[in-house]
Amino acid sequence: MCPKCAHHFRLTARERLEITLDPETFHEFDAELEPKDILAFPGYGEKLAKAQEQTGLKEAVVTGTGTIGGHQVVIAVMDTHFIMGSMGTVVGEKVARAADQALERRVPFVTFAASGGARMQEGILSLMQMAKTAAAVGRLDRAGLLYLSVLTDPTMGGVSASFAFLGDIILAEPGALIGFAGPRVIEQTIRQKLPEGFQRAEFLQEHGFVDKVVPRSQLRQTIITILDLHARGD
């Protein structure tokens, strides 16, 4: 965070895990899963290789189990540094598997969304992940398990239109861009000027789409408080 203006800079998945989980409690799963250029999309193979080299990740989401304030959780953290956190087949599969792990372990599921949307290089296969992830968190809902969704900058497109907005409790970081189509696309389509602050976290809280906007410095403690209340059944 900027010490003067409190701007929230984008974090890597590893940085997010480090400031959220209790020390040395994270155990990753499905780390071996990596995307393939299924459709032979021009330049996609090279883009994947470059993203993997630059980030040290095999895909745009890291999933695993750990504790937050002593509470066992399954967690999925997206990383915009990997092709803008776009959701392809492997991202969708890892999120769905993480939700299933939370169901099997009977523990809360926590996600940190950070994505430009569906990955266009994987076409309809990417869009199918919206249904897959929504179905997975739906199984948690039917089992009465807590799903806590945290929206960070940006949370857009197919990710916002699927699992990111299906949390029992939805938190957001200040100033995060959240929506489906981008504001410029909407303005060009409807030929109207959008309201001030449209698609920012504070605007969404004001209109009932986000439960609470929480500064990053208070986010871990807020999550712990929610987990404490849930554990007590309050």
Domain count, the chain: 1
Give the range of the structural domain holding residue 70, as residue numbers without chain letter. 14-232
Q: Are 79 and 12 in contact (CB under 8 A)?
A: yes
Within a domain: residue 51? yes
Tokens of 40: 């032979």
Residue 167 lies in a domain: yes
Name 68's bridge partners. 71
Sequence-ordered list of residues with C-beta below 8 angstroms from that of 176, at least 6 positions apart, any chain: 8, 151, 152, 153, 154, 155, 200, 201
Q: What is the CATH number of the domain that holds 101?
A: 3.90.226.10
pLDDT at site 6: 84
pLDDT along the chain (234 residues), means of 10: 87 98 98 96 97 97 98 98 98 98 98 97 97 98 97 97 98 97 90 90 96 97 97 76
- Residue 234 has a pLDDT of 53
Ramachandran bin of 199, using left for φ above 0, alpha for ψ from -120 to 50, beta for the remaining angles: left
In a domain, 49, yes or no: yes
Tokens standing for residue 155: 């949370």
Tell me if 192 is assigned to some domain.
Answer: yes
Q: How far apart are CA 16 and CA 54, in angstroms?
A: 17
Q: What are phi and psi of 152, to 5 degrees?
A: -120, 180
**What's the predicted TM-score (pTM) here?**
0.95
From the list 201, 213, 90, 208, the residue with the least C-alpha distance to 156 is 201
Tell me if 1 is assigned to some domain.
no
CA distance 139 to 141: 5
Both tokens assigned to 59: 């895909």
Is residue 152 in some structural domain? yes
Assess if residue 132 is contained within a domain.
yes
What is the H or E stretch that residue 61 is in? strand 61-68
Asked whether residue 65 is assigned to any structural domain, the reply reads: yes
